[in-house]
Amino acid sequence: MFGFSFLVPAFLSGCLAAAVPIVLHLMRRERLPRVKFSAIRFLQGAPVEQTRRRRLRELLLLALRVAALLLLAFAFARPFFNDAAAPDRAATVVLVDTSFSMSAPGQAERVRAQALEAIATAPEGHLVGVVAFDDTARVVADLASSRARARAAVDGLASGIHGTRYREGLAAASRLIGARDGRIVVVTDLQASGWEQGEGAISPQIDVEISDVAPPAGNLAVVSIEPESGATAVVLFQAGASAGEIQVALAVDGDLLSEVKVTPEPGRSTVRFPEVLPATGVATVSLGDPLGYPVDDHRYRLLDPQPPVPVLVITTDVRAEGPVLYLERALAAGEDAGSFRVARVAAEDVALRTEPLERARAVVLIGARGLDGRGRDRLATFVRGGGGLLLVAGPTLEPALVTDLFDVYDGPQLGLGMTVIHDEPVTLTPTDLRHPVIAGFGSLVGTLGRARFTRTIAMTVVEPDAADAGLVIARFDDGSPALVEHAVGEGRVLVFASDLGNVWNDFPRRPAFVPFLHETVGYLTSHRAQPREFVVGTAPPGTPDALGAFTLADGSGRAVLNVDPRESDPTSLAAEQFEASVNRLALAAEQEAREGVGEREAGQRLWRYALMLMALVLVAEGLLGRRAA
C-alpha cells in the first residue's frame, strides 16, 4: 500500500495563496443596474448575453487559477509516494544479552526471569518478539500475538563465548519492529565495553527500556601466555572483588606441567611458572574463579612453529644454478633457517601454470626472458592482490619487459634503464634507517657497505610527492638508487639495482648477504602472514564456535581461538549513560531516514510532473480568458 508524502511539507503553506483569486473573484462581481422600461417591444431585436454562461466561464477561470497555485505549492513541497505504510499494531521486542558477560553464577536464572517478566508485562494488543544478541544479533521469536512462542524462545537461550555489541542488538530489534510504534526491553548487565564496537541505528519512534541484570561482584581472567627465557609468564586480570587465593594450572596438550596458588592483585598481574614450554603443542592456562565468568578462566597459546613461507623464484632457466643457488642457500641459512620454502619456475611457464603463484607469498624475479603478456598480467595481479615482489637486476632481467609491469592497473613505472659499468666499484649506503629492511640489521647495518658493485642498473625515481613515487631505501655511493620500494594495490615491490648471483658484485660472499635476503623477503611477506591466534569475533569464516585449537579452513595449519579480554571487565554503565548512547543511535537513524526519503523523492521527481501540469493549466486559463475578453 502506498502513502503520499512531501519532502518539504512547509511549502504546502503556499496553498494559502490560492485564496487570493477566490477573494478577488468575490470582490469584483459586477451587479447589472436595473432599468425600467415602459414597454419591451423596442428590445426584441437586441442581442441578449447569457448570464449563466458567463458565470460558468468565470468559475472555470477561477478554478484554473486556484489549481495553478496549488500545483506550484505541491511542486515546491517535493511530493513522493512512500511505500512504507505504518502497520496498525504496535510491538514489543525483548532484547536478551547472551554474551559471556552474562555467564557468572546466578546470572542465567535472573536473565530468564526478567525476560519472561518483560514478555508478561507487554501492553495488551502488542505483538511480542524476542531477539538474542552478543557480537551479532539473531531473531529467535518473530512478532506474534501469542506470547507462548516468545516464552519458549527465552527458555532456549544461554550465554556463549562472544562479546557484547549493543548497536547490533538494538538495530536488529528496531528492524523487527519496522515502521510500527513499539518498545524494546533490553535484558542486560549494562557492560561498558559493549558500546565500543558495532554498527546500527534505532528508529526514533521506538521506546527503549532497560531490565538491568546485576554483574558479578568480581571477575578473574587469564589474559595471555608469554614464553620467557627459562620460564613461562601468565598475565591475569582481576576486576572488582577477589575470591582470595586461586590455583592456576599450566598444561600442554592436556598434560599438566605445573600448578601455583596466587592471590591476584587488582588489575593486571603476572604469574611465572618455572617450566619452559615445548616447541610444539597447545599450552593452556586454567584457573577456577567462583565469582566471575567461567569462560575466561582458560587461555590457549599455539606453540607449533610457523610453517615455512613459500617463495617463488622466476628465472629464465630453472636448471641454471648461479643466482638461484645463492638465493636458496641464503634463505635456508641463518637464525631463521627453515622459515622459507623456495620453488623455481621458468618465466615462460608463469602464463601456463597458475598454481605456483597461488601458493606463493613472495616472488623473486631474477630472469624475465620468456615472460609474455599473460604472464606479466598474472604477476601484476598477484602483487596488486597483496603479494610481495623482489625484482633483481642482472644479466637475464630484460628491463624493457618489466619496467611497465603494472601499467595495466595504472600502477607505478619502475623506471629501469640501461646497465651501468663502474670503473671503480660502488658500495651500498642505507638512506632510510627506519625502514624494516634496514632496521632489522640493528647495529650491524654498517656491514652492508662492505660489498663491492661493479655493475648496476640505472633507475629513475619520480619526485617524492608524486602519486606513483618510489621510496628509496638505499643508494650506491655515487648517488644512484640501489633499493627502491613501490606500493601496488595491496602489495609491495622492491627493486634491487644489481644481481644476487656473484656476477655484478661480490655481495653473496659478504656477511650482510644472508640477513639482507631474510629481512627483504620477510618484509615482503610479513603483511600476508597468517595469524595463529584469534579472539572471538575476528576468526576467519569456517572457524568452529569453540575455544581452543582448531585447523584453519584452508588447511594451512592450526590456530587457537580465545575470548576477547575486553569482555572480562564487568564494569557497567549507569542507566543514564546507556540511554544517552541509545539516543545517539536514534539520531543516526533519523539522519538515515531523511537521507532515504531524499533518495526516494529524487528517484521519483514528481515535482516535475506537477510543474508541467501547472503549465498546461496556465495555458488553458490564458486561452479561456482571451475568449472571455
Q: Using one digit for the tens of pLDDT, what is the confidence trace for 284-326? A: 999 999 999 999 999 999 998 877 888 999 888 777 667 788 8
CATH classification of the domain holding 151: 3.40.50.410
Residue 601 DSSP code: H
Q: Is residue 580 part of a domain?
A: no
Burial class, 78, CB count within 10 angstroms (exposed 0-12 / middle 13-18 / buried 19+): buried
300 contacts 549 by C-beta, under 8 angstroms: yes
**How many CB atoms are located within 10 Å of the residue 472 CB?**
18
Q: 359 and 282, same structural domain?
A: no
Note the helical H segments in 351-498: 355-359, 373-384, 399-402, 436-439
Q: 440 and 352, same structural domain?
A: yes
Q: Print the domain residue range for 54.
A: 3-33+48-82+597-628
Q: Is residue 293 part of a domain?
A: yes
CATH classification of the domain holding 230: 2.60.40.10
Q: Is residue 361 part of a domain?
A: yes
Q: Is residue 224 part of a domain?
A: yes
Residues making up the chain, counted from first to last: 629
H or E element: which one contains 555? none
In 3-state terms, what secondary structure has residue 276? coil
CA dihedral 439, 444, 445, 447 (to 10 degrees): -150
Q: 470 and 341, same structural domain?
A: yes
pTM for the model stands at 0.63
C-alpha 434: how far from chain center:
30
In 3-state terms, what secondary structure has residue 549? strand
Burial class, 155, CB count within 10 angstroms (exposed 0-12 / middle 13-18 / buried 19+): exposed
Q: Is residue 407 part of a domain?
A: yes
Q: 326 and 264, same structural domain?
A: no
| Type of residue found at 552 | L
C-alpha 513: how far from chain center:
40
Q: 225 and 202, same structural domain?
A: no
Rounded Cα–Cα distance for residues 407 and 9 (Å): 53
Rounded Cα–Cα distance for residues 259 and 250 (Å): 6
130 contacts 115 by C-beta, under 8 angstroms: yes
Q: Higher pLDDT residue, 1 or 79?
A: 79
Lowest-confidence pick of 8-22, 33-47, 121-135, 502-516? 33-47
Q: 551 and 477, same structural domain?
A: no
Q: 207 and 109, same structural domain?
A: yes
285 contacts 250 by C-beta, under 8 angstroms: yes
Q: 506 and 421, same structural domain?
A: yes
Q: Last residue of some domain: 502, 526, 550?
A: 526
CATH classification of the domain holding 349: 3.40.50.880
Q: Is residue 585 part of a domain?
A: no
Place 154 in a pLDDT band, splitting at 50, 70 and 90. very high
Q: Last residue of some domain: 526, 557, 577?
A: 526
Q: 465 and 406, same structural domain?
A: yes
Retrieve residue 256's grid coordinates. Answer: 599438566
Sole residue written with cell 640489521: 441
Retrieve residue 432's grid coordinates. Answer: 632510510
Q: Last residue of some domain: 215, 231, 264?
A: 215
Instruction: Assess whether pLDDT exceeds 70 at residue 613.
Output: yes
**Given this model, what pLDDT does residue 460 score?**
84
From the list 600, 620, 570, 617, the residue with the least C-alpha distance to 240 is 570
Lowest-confidence pick of 307-316, 337-346, 557-566? 337-346
In 3-state terms, what secondary structure has residue 120? helix
**How many CB atoms are located within 10 Å of the residue 628 CB?**
11
Number of domains forming the structure of the chain: 4
Q: 345 and 281, same structural domain?
A: no
Sole residue written with cell 496556465: 618
384 contacts 491 by C-beta, under 8 angstroms: yes
**What is the Cα Rg of the chain in Å?**
39
Rounded Cα–Cα distance for residues 589 and 595 (Å): 10
Note the helical H segments in 31-80: 51-76
Q: Is residue 577 part of a domain?
A: no
Burial class, 492, CB count within 10 angstroms (exposed 0-12 / middle 13-18 / buried 19+): buried
Q: Is residue 137 part of a domain?
A: yes
235 — phi, psi (to 5°)?
Answer: -100, 125
Sole residue written with cell 582448531: 550
Place 4 in a pLDDT band, splitting at 50, 70 and 90. low
Q: 493 and 347, same structural domain?
A: yes
Lowest-confidence pick of 126-135, 165-174, 359-368, 460-469? 460-469
Q: 346 and 458, same structural domain?
A: yes
Q: What is the mean pLDDT of the chain?
A: 84
Rounded Cα–Cα distance for residues 130 and 176 (Å): 9
**Given this model, what pLDDT does residue 504 score?**
94
**Given this model, what pLDDT does residue 41 score?**
57
pLDDT mean over 601-623: 77
